[in-house]
Structure 1
Amino acid sequence: MEKDSAARFLEACSECMDGAGKRTGIGTLGEKTLHAVLKQYFEPRKENQEVPVGPYVADICNEQGIFEIQTRGFDRLREKLAFFLELGPVTVVYPVPARKWLIWIEEDGTDSPRRKSPKSASACEILPELYKLKPLLSAPNLRLCIVMLELEEYRLKNGWGNGGKRGSTRFDRMPVNLLEELWITSLEEYRRFLPESLQETFTVRDFASAARMSAKAASAAVNVLYSVGALERTGKLRNAFLYRRADSVGPRSSV
């Protein structure tokens, strides 16, 4: 990653947070810090943020096209994205916590010392979300940018068990560093989501193990890769489909 990108990201963090790591109030009321920082990173000019486009509001609209920063809920993005794609280039930005620190907010409002989370995420995390956008993935105007981040996650101790940690609520996520950007600008580049440890042929269960996903998430992920043509089916192992990397990539009419 270019040093310039890392420096610009830290500038965006500084713009959206004060020296104590708290929000400065910049941006839309109720907007989460991670969303605000990414919006500032991709477009620091305020006049190009929160721009009305038809019946919708784009996170960013500039000379490069429209940018939508989506941390979850891709099903809610589908109708809006379909409209934007008719107008020109659209980039969907998706942040992934590749390195995460947990900070618990006690009942009295004080923060616990941060500790490193044993969990880490990969770029494959976007694939189950993309299942909700399958009809749009082959649109020539669509680009994806997966932003790999180090961040601090603040959680409220309002759950049950283990001191209120189980079933707790995520309060906010504070970006710390930009680690990498992964751009997907064509269907061929979906191959980059395939874990290197996969054998030549594999099942959904094998993919789940290699990508460190749940069986449900892996099933959606493989379905997406198959639908864009990055995978092909070679047969079955008992009741499970066998897959392998496709020689040529192209959208399938139905899956």
Structure 2
Amino acid sequence: MEQEERFELARLRAQNALAAKNEMGKGIGTQMERTLHCVLKYYIEPDESRHEVRVGTFIADIFQAEQNRIIEIQTRNFSALRQKLSYFVQDHKVTVVYPIARQKWMSWVDPATGEMSGRRKSPRKGEPWDALPELYRLAQLIQSPNLSFYLMLLDMEEYRLLDGWSEDKKKGSHRMERIPLRIDEAIELRAGQDYGKLLPAFLPDPFTRKDFIKATRLSPKKSSFALTVLLRMEAIRQSGKEGRAFLYTREG
């Protein structure tokens, strides 16, 4: 089955599964599954018997017993995965799937009336290096030979509530839902050299932290986290100084 056909089938199955949960009253509350998570779960593993399987004291998103492989789909906040992953990697191969919105279309919803504003294209595009600050949250685990990551760059629809603190109610607003439209690119991170794929091609070599911030458009704080991950995975190394600034060189 071609990727596009497989992805569309996953979207349809997720839509039906979420509709059924809502009818049974299971889609409301703290354990509500979002569309993005559900679509990726069906795309990666169509067999529902492998979904939401208890492994020890935790529930795995996907457990492929014949391969002794666990797949966790994490759409945000890798900190929440630390305890679970620390347990899983002791005896299982584990892959963490992380979606990134490469191209996003935004719609705003009035929380009082449910009225939706016109759809517009977000000017910001997601890039592979956006994952690095999240990977930093698992800095003590990323070198485990049993742990790998799968970054999926997707086109998405995003719906947000007009409930923020700014005059137009957009700043500080809450996200309602993200719906994936198609897969643009996928990157697998297994060994240290794979992390070099997360460096912008147009980044000079050697480069400074300032060069890295300019190329990635990450904040200074997130850039520090990103460089820490790249150094730990030996995708880059310190290669001297330019004035007071450290120089970094790509490895491999």
TM-score, normalised to structure 2, is: 0.90
| Alignment partner of 2:168 out of 163, 167, 183 | 163
Corresponding residue for 1:251? none
Summarize the alignment of residues 45-64 of structure 1 with structure 2, pairs less than 5 Å apart: 45-62=47-64, 63-64=66-67
Give how far 1:60 is off: 0.2
Give how far 1:26 is off: 4.7
Corresponding residue for 1:75? 79
Corresponding residue for 2:132? 127
Report if the CA contact (8 A) 1:104-1:112 is conserved: yes
Residue 107 of structure 2 is aligned to residue 103 of structure 1: yes
Q: How many angstroms apart in 2 are the aligned matches of 1:14 and 1:120?
A: 26
Corresponding residue for 1:195? 200
TM-score, normalised to structure 1, is: 0.89
Instruction: Report how many aligned residue pairs link the two structures.
Output: 242
Q: Percent identity?
A: 41
Q: How many angstroms apart in 2 are the aligned matches of 1:119 and 1:32?
A: 23
Q: How many angstroms apart in 1 are the aligned matches of 2:187 and 2:100?
A: 11
Taking a change above 3 Å as real, the CA distance of residues 95 and 26 of structure 1, as seen in their structure-2 partners, is farther
Corresponding residue for 1:35? 37
Q: How many angstroms apart in 2 are the aligned matches of 1:170 and 1:124?
A: 22
Q: How many angstroms apart in 1 are the aligned matches of 2:83 and 2:209?
A: 29
**Does the residue aligned with 1:112 lie in a helix, a strand or coil?**
coil
Corresponding residue for 1:6? 4
Letter in 2 for 1:54: G
Letter in 2 for 1:16: A
| Alignment partner of 2:144 out of 114, 139, 144 | 139
**Does the residue aligned with 2:130 lie in a helix, a strand or coil?**
helix
Give how far 1:220 is off: 0.6
Q: How many angstroms apart in 2 are the aligned matches of 1:35 and 1:193?
A: 23
Residue 224 of structure 2 is aligned to residue 222 of structure 1: no
Give how far 1:36 is off: 0.9
Letter in 1 for 2:7: F
Corresponding residue for 1:253? none
**Which ranges in structure 1 are unaligned for 5 or more consecutive residues?**
248-255
Q: How many angstroms apart in 1 are the aligned matches of 2:164 and 2:178?
A: 18
Q: How many angstroms apart in 1 are the aligned matches of 2:146 and 2:126?
A: 27
Residue 213 of structure 2 is aligned to residue 208 of structure 1: yes
Taking a change above 3 Å as real, the CA distance of residues 162 and 116 of structure 1, as seen in their structure-2 partners, is farther
Give how far 1:186 is off: 1.5
Return 161-170 or 146-155, whichever deviates more: 161-170
Taking a change above 3 Å as real, the CA distance of residues 238 and 26 of structure 1, as seen in their structure-2 partners, is farther
Corresponding residue for 1:66? 70
Taking a change above 3 Å as real, the CA distance of residues 34 and 154 of structure 1, as seen in their structure-2 partners, is same
Report if the CA contact (8 A) 1:85-1:139 is conserved: yes
Residue 86 of structure 2 is aligned to residue 91 of structure 1: no
**Does the residue aligned with 2:19 lie in a helix, a strand or coil?**
coil
**Does the residue aligned with 2:104 lie in a helix, a strand or coil?**
strand
> CA RMSD, aligned part only?
1.8
Q: How many angstroms apart in 2 are the aligned matches of 1:162 and 1:226?
A: 42
